[in-house]
Chains A and B, each alone.
Chain A
Amino acid sequence: MKHFSFYIISLLCLNIFSQNKTIVAGENLTFTASYNMSGILTDLAEVTMQTSEIKTSKTTLLRLKCKATTYSKWDSFFKIRDLYESYVSPKTLTPFLYKRDINEGGYYKFMQYKFNHKTKTVQSLKKKKKKEGGFWEEKKSLSINSSTKDLVSTLYHIRNLDIDKANIGDNMDFKILFDNVENIINVRYLGKETISTNIGRKECYKLSLSVKNNDVLKGSNANLLWLTADQNKVPVYAKFKIAVGSGELKIKSATGLN
């Protein structure tokens, strides 16, 4: 009986912790992505993160949309028009459908994941452009872990964490399905820091991100994310180290917050 009540309480707690208390429909965050070379920053692209409600015949979902667009001065050199979307449950941020449509300097790729959380499977669809015209398609059925999410919903899920209850050094693993491969991202809480941003001086939670068994993001504690230490946990600044140089993501504007 003692064990039984412990499990019930644990399950209730887990359920409470997984509830979405941060992300609301109508949010619009705009960022500037810059490339850093020996301290000289060059603005590359505008990144937007938007949320909206979407009604299906059965239920209402939350559409999480991320866009990356290069600034006009770059368009003739390397034009980027990327669209990442995730259709999630507004209560738990559990993804049902993920779409990635990227167009980078003439390279086109489309990825779609349809999540089935009961069978723990994902129906994946990959599309690429053929040289001679038309599209090349690949359909796959993948087995996933119960906690596996897509990239976009994971970003929003990190914002929904109860960071105020975390201690410095606490870390958590997130499983992300990217390019049909499950990757593990580790998020470590480094403490609070007050920084100046375009939306004012903000007290922030400083987090460190790293990808396990993958060298996409280089260095230890070199990929950092600052989330405002308030109810919205807005990502205001990010620093990341890649193979060639490093980059920054700075907030430009934030509207429609909770």
Chain B
Amino acid sequence: MKKTLIILGFITAVFAVILVVTPLFKIALFPAIIAVLSGLGVLYLANKTKTSKKVVQYIFLLSIMSLAIMTYKSITDTSEVGNTEALEELEKSSEEDALEELEGIDLDIE
């Protein structure tokens, strides 16, 4: 049981760290919560059996790190459109092409 929780805690904590550096950083909340819960589970079992708790520190460290970065990014993140120069040029050329195409189309329907 303890081993399973350690493996689950580590995998989800690492996954949270990976997710938090991507634009999908908000989704890192789910693996981070699972990692914290697994860590608490390991801590409880370690206290019960009086074994080493060192591994829990790493799980907590990684999950707290990802939660902190996620909170910081959620506050500072702004949604801005990137470089649209090519799209603006395409709009202009598309309108010019359309004018040529429309000359050859029967527009008389009304």
Residues on A close to B: CB < 8 A?
32, 37-38, 40-43, 46, 54, 56-59, 61, 63, 65, 67, 69-75, 77, 79, 81, 83, 85, 87, 89, 91-92, 94, 96-97, 99, 101, 112, 114-118
For chain B, give the interface size range: 20 to 34
Which of B79, B87, B107 interacts with A58 by CB under 8 Å?
B107
Which of B27, B91, B110 interacts with A42 by CB under 8 Å?
B27
How many angstroms from the CA of A159 to the CA of B28 in the assembled complex?
A: 39
Q: Is the CB of A63 within 8 A of B79?
A: no
Q: Is the CB of A72 within 8 A of B82?
A: yes
For B109, what are the chain A residues with a Cβ–Cβ distance below 8 Å? 89, 92, 94, 117-118
Q: Which 10 A-B pairs have the closest CB atoms?
A: A72-B82, A43-B79, A73-B23, A75-B82, A71-B79, A81-B87, A117-B109, A40-B26, A56-B102, A69-B81
Which of B30, B83, B94, B104 interacts with A83 by CB under 8 Å?
B94
Which residue of A is nearest B93, CB measured? Answer: A101
Q: Is the interface of A mostly helix, strand, loop or mixed?
A: strand
- Closest Cβ of chain B to A129, distance in Å, is 14
Q: A37-B27, A42-B24 are in contact. Are A65 and B107 (CB under 8 A)?
A: no
How many angstroms from the CA of A57 to the CA of B99 in the assembled complex?
A: 9
Which of B22, B24, B80 interacts with A72 by CB under 8 Å?
B80
Assess whether B98 is interfacial by the CB under 8 Å rule. Answer: yes
Q: Is the CB of A77 within 8 A of B22?
A: yes
How many angstroms from the CA of A57 to the CA of B103 in the assembled complex?
A: 7
Q: Is the CB of A96 within 8 A of B107?
A: yes
How many angstroms from the CA of A94 to the CA of B27 in the assembled complex?
A: 44
Which of A42, A70, A97 interacts with B102 by CB under 8 Å?
A97
For A74, what are the chain B residues with a Cβ–Cβ distance below 8 Å? 23
Q: Is the CB of B91 within 8 A of A83?
A: yes
Q: Is the CB of B110 within 8 A of A92?
A: yes
Which residue of B is nearest A15, CB measured? Answer: B110
Q: Is the CB of B107 within 8 A of A59?
A: yes
How many angstroms from the CA of A43 to the CA of B80 in the assembled complex?
A: 10
Q: Is the CB of B90 within 8 A of A101?
A: yes
For B99, what are the chain A residues with a Cβ–Cβ distance below 8 Å? 54, 56
- Closest Cβ of chain B to A241, distance in Å, is 18
How many angstroms from the CA of A104 to the CA of B101 in the assembled complex?
A: 26
Which of A72, A77, A91 interacts with B81 by CB under 8 Å?
A72
Q: Is the CB of A97 within 8 A of B98?
A: yes
Q: A97-B98, A116-B105, A118-B109 are in contact. Are A71 and B90 (CB under 8 A)?
A: no
Q: Is the CB of A38 within 8 A of B101?
A: no
Would you list 27 pairs from A and B whose C-beta atoms are within 8 A, ordered by A residue? Answer: A32-B79, A40-B26, A40-B29, A42-B23, A54-B99, A61-B107, A67-B91, A71-B82, A73-B77, A73-B79, A74-B23, A75-B83, A79-B82, A81-B86, A81-B87, A81-B90, A83-B91, A89-B109, A96-B102, A99-B94, A101-B94, A114-B101, A114-B104, A114-B105, A115-B105, A116-B105, A116-B106
Assess whether B84 is interfacial by the CB under 8 Å rule. Answer: yes
How many angstroms from the CA of A40 to the CA of B86 in the assembled complex?
A: 32
Which residue of B is nearest A40, CB measured? Answer: B26
For B24, what are the chain A residues with a Cβ–Cβ distance below 8 Å? 42
